[in-house]
Amino acid sequence: MSSKAYIKGDRRDFSKEGLLESQVPLSPYPLFTKWINLAVKSNIIDANALTLCTVSECITPQSRVVLLRNLSEDGFVFYTNYHSAKGKAIAFNPSVSLNFFWPEIDRQVRVEGIAEKVSEQTSSNYFSSRPRKSQLGALVSNQSDVIVSRTILEEKMMLLTKEYEGKDIPKPKHWGGYLVKPSKVEFWLGRPSRLHDRILYTKQSEQWQIERLSP
């Protein structure tokens, strides 16, 4: 039996709104904030979702979707299990890329940078703000490890739920945040006739160089 899939999709034209060098801020952060806020206001599901790309010890590129949890002039923050595949990859090579894609508003942002762990206090503060079930989930799962069946997770969840009933749930030492300090941030805006706008910010010492890329 054939397993071929017909993947073409309907072609569509894009926004007439433009992105000009003369109109963008000197730093990428205000523009990113404007775009992600627009994504949220447009009721895009998981507007803070991003594709995180790393390189493993086998020099294999790996990608997965995580959620942006904080943004500042220092960079982009997400949280995970440090013993997971992504955590091991970052320990091997902290150079990562992030990709945000909001097709509903014809926008995409690509980030290249270095990931480093946030402080233990920052991770603890965020962990304390999570729903209890999410906190318990961080204790239950040895993320990326092979398991025999889902039953193992469900049984462990039941045991830990009883153990911590009425108690604060401690943050696992192997769980916390990463701050991605960008060296490059590219903003892509879909335009008619595939003549898309691409504005690239490149960190030069303490300043950002702004350039236009061909679509």
Query: What are the CA-CA distances from residue 172 to residues 40, 74, 81 (Å)?
Result: 31, 25, 9
CA distance 154 to 121: 30
Q: What is the DSSP string of 183-215?
A: EEEEEEE--GGG--EEEEEEEETTEEEEEEE--
Cα(first)–Cα(last) distance of the chain, in Å?
Answer: 40
CA distance 147 to 157: 15
CA angle 164–167–172, rounded 5-degree value: 65
- How many Cα atoms are found within 13 Å in the side-chain-facing hemisphere of 146? 1
Choice among 107, 194, 198, 212 that is catalytic: 194
Is 64 a catalytic site residue?
Answer: no
**DSSP conformation class of 32:** H
Residues involved in catalysis: 194
